[in-house]
Amino acid sequence: MRFAVVQFGGSNCDRDVVHAVSDVCGVDCDLVWYKDGITKDYDAIVIPGGFSYGDYLRAGAIAARTPVMDGIRRHAAAGGLVLGICNGAQIGAESGLVPGTFTTNATPKFICRPVCLRVETTASPFTRLYREGEVIRIPIAHKEGRYVASPEELARLNAEGRVAFRFCDADGNVTPAANPNGAAENITGVLGGPGKNVLCLMPHPERASEEVLGSADGKRIFLGMIRSIEEVGPRA
C-alpha cells in the first residue's frame, strides 16, 4: 500500500500529511512534485494544504489547471481515493472533483483555531470509523474556506449523503454561531467520485492525528482510507 502527497509551489502542509500517514499510521507515502505527475499506481492521493501559486486569481484556481490534476481525476474516476485538505480542497473543487467551491470567508480574515465538526455520514472510506452524529475536534486555518454551491447542488449533496462534515457546537448543534466562515448549511467536507471516494474538506486532519497535538480525531480519516484499501487490496 502506498499513498502519494502532491506538492505544489506554495504547499506547506505536505510533510505534515506524510508524517500522519507514514509515522502515525504506518503506511508508505511518497512526496510527488506536481511537475513530475502521477507516474505510479497509488492507492490514495492527498492534495495537502498551503497556498499553491500564492492563491493568485482564486485559491486553488491555477493549481487545478496543471497537468498533474488530469492524473488525479483519472485516479478518482477509476475509484481511487483522493483526499483534498484546505488548499487541496480548493484545488479539488476547482478541478471538478466535488461540486461547489470554497471561497472567501464571510468575514474576510484568516481563521486559525480548533473547531467542532459533526459527522454527517459514515458511508465513505474517509468517515467509516466515526459514528454518524459524532462530534469531533479538528483545526481550521484558512481565509477562503467558505463552501458555496447552488441550491440544486446542495439538494443533491444532501439527498445522496455526500455531506461528510458540518461545523457545529460542542453538543453537535449546527447553528450560525458554530459556523466560523459562513459556509452554506455549515458544510465543510464534501464527498465526490463514483463511490464517495473523494473527500474535500477545509479542516486539517493531519493536525489532529496525535493526542500531543490536542486531538487525534483526524487520524480516523486516514485509518478509514487504509481500512478500505486493505479490503479491496492494494492497486500496485
The catalytic residues are 86, 204, 206
Comparing CA positions, the residue from 130, 120, 129, 126 lying closest to residue 195 is 126
Residue 89 gets which letter from DSSP?
H
User: Rounded CA gap, 67 and 36, in Å?
Assistant: 9
Query: Which among 156, 160, 164, 112 is positioned nearest to 136, based on CA atoms?
Result: 164
| C-alpha cell recorded at residue 194 | 463514483
Give how far the C-alpha of residue 10 lies from the chain's centroid of Cα atoms, to the nearest Å: 17
Asked whether 94 and 64 are in contact (CB, 8 A), the reply is yes
